[in-house]
Amino acid sequence: MQTLRRTVAILTFPAIAWLGAACERDTPTEARPGGMALSVSGDLTDALSTDLGQSYQVILSCTDGHSVILWVDSATLTSLAADVEAINASDTGVRCTLDSTALDPSSQTTAWTVYDYNPSNNALAPRNAPNKMPATTTGTTTTFDFLPGKFTALLTTADRSLTGDLSMTTLTDVISVSGPATTFMTQHNGGANCSSNIPATVRFYFVSPSASGSTVGTPPAGFYTQFWWSNPVNLPLTAGSDGTITAVVSDPDEWSDWNGQRGSNPEVLAAFEKAIHNVQTVGLSFGGLCFFETGVTAMYPSGTPPPDEVFSSDFSETPTP
């Protein structure tokens, strides 16, 4: 296993998409306007050039409270690192890390995986071991527990039968929550009007590392268009709630990118079209109405013993009519 890490500070930029008239701006965000700092161990260029066929797991995390994960080859990682370093035009004090770990192909999984924010709430950690209470899947239904004190950010899969070319696909998810929780909340004021942690929501999300392109915003960065969230489609989470969400992957008006730009924006439309033909991971993102991936936690009455609140997802894909 090889880990690459180096730290630099970078420019403030709007992160992932806002939702709704009360929050929507010309350059929306998902995890609060913030800056980024790149963290990659060793000499990135030299390290990557030693094995151009190596795959890497990349976690991009910011101190403004959000994190994303993707799997890339050496060339894409080099491009991503160059993108982030290029944003180093003005130091703002807000920092992020781009942590990259060389992967053993035999260790990669296509199973549905839950990602929680770590105790610092600045980076994602997968539940990938039995003692971490991972997601369980039976047929098309996946369930996991909302762990007390944890903010759950993502539930995704890299299953080849559900990824790849989704340009003619409609996503549907029948969602329910059950258990002792009294309510749910997000963090970083990601809820209503960008000033509250309620309501918490869940929405569709997909990643396409090959869909790098120019984007609207200051500064521009190619990686913004590698991450897409359904917008406005979402389901508010309340105690005992259930519901169904549906999104047409090919409709650019139903999706927005890291920088909050609709797929229909002419400046990102080509990247959106490439993204939907080359989906690497797909699933659900947990956040609020204003910020889309700030995580969700269940609120329990004091002293509530296990079992915890259970989230259930019956995810399916059908051909778009």
Least confident segment among 147-156, 188-197, 273-282:
188-197
Of the pLDDT bands very low, low, confident and very high (cuts 50, 70, 90), residue 86 is low
Please give the Cα distance from 297 to 95 (Å, whole number): 24
Of the pLDDT bands very low, low, confident and very high (cuts 50, 70, 90), residue 27 is very low
pLDDT at 37 over 60: no
Taking the alpha carbons at both ends of the chain, their separation in whole angstroms is 45
Of the pLDDT bands very low, low, confident and very high (cuts 50, 70, 90), residue 219 is low
% of the chain residues with pLDDT over 70: 73
In order of 8, 161, 177, 293, the CA distances from 238 in angstroms are: 40, 31, 8, 17
For the chain, what is the domain count? 1
What is residue 103's predicted lDDT score, i.e. its pLDDT?
67
Please give the Cα distance from 173 to 202 (Å, whole number): 10
Please count the other Cβ atoms lying within 10 Å of the Cβ belonging to residue 107: 9
pLDDT top residue among 308 and 90: 308
Average pLDDT value for residue range 16-22? 31
pLDDT at 11 over 60: no
Write down the residue that tokens 């909050």 correspond to: 260
Average pLDDT value for residue range 154-179? 97
Q: What is the pLDDT of residues 244-294, one digit of tens each?
A: 999 999 999 999 998 889 999 999 999 999 999 999 999 999 999 988 999
Tokens of 159: 């299953």
pLDDT at 216 over 90: no
Residue 39, domain extent: 3-319
pLDDT top residue among 234 and 218: 234
Q: What is the pLDDT of residues 38-63, one digit of tens each?
A: 344 334 434 443 344 578 888 877 65
What is residue 50's predicted lDDT score, i.e. its pLDDT?
39
Least confident segment among 3-7, 100-104, 198-202, 270-274:
3-7
What is residue 41's predicted lDDT score, i.e. its pLDDT?
38
Q: What is the pLDDT of residues 89-144, one digit of tens each?
A: 445 454 567 888 876 655 566 789 999 998 876 788 999 889 999 999 999 999 99
Tokens of 247: 């999104």
The dihedral of CA 165, 28, 122, 91: what is its sign?
positive
3-state secondary structure the chain: CCEEECEEEEEEECCCCCCCCCCCCCCCCCCCCEEEEEECECCHHHHHHCCCCCEEEEEEEECCCEEEEEEEEHHHHHHHHHHHHHCCCCCCCCCEEEEEEECCHHHCCCCCEEEEECCCCCCEEECCCHHHCCCEEECCEEEEEECCCCCEEEEEECCCCCCECCCCEEEEEEEEEECCCCEEECCCCCCHHHCCCCCEEEEEEEECCCCCCCCCCCCCCHHHHHEEEECCCCEEECCCCEEEEEEECCCHHHEEECCCCECCCCCCHHHHHHHHHCECEEEEEEEECCCCCCCEEEECCCCCCCCCEEEEEEEEEEECC
What is residue 2's predicted lDDT score, i.e. its pLDDT?
39
Write down the residue that tokens 């296509």 correspond to: 110
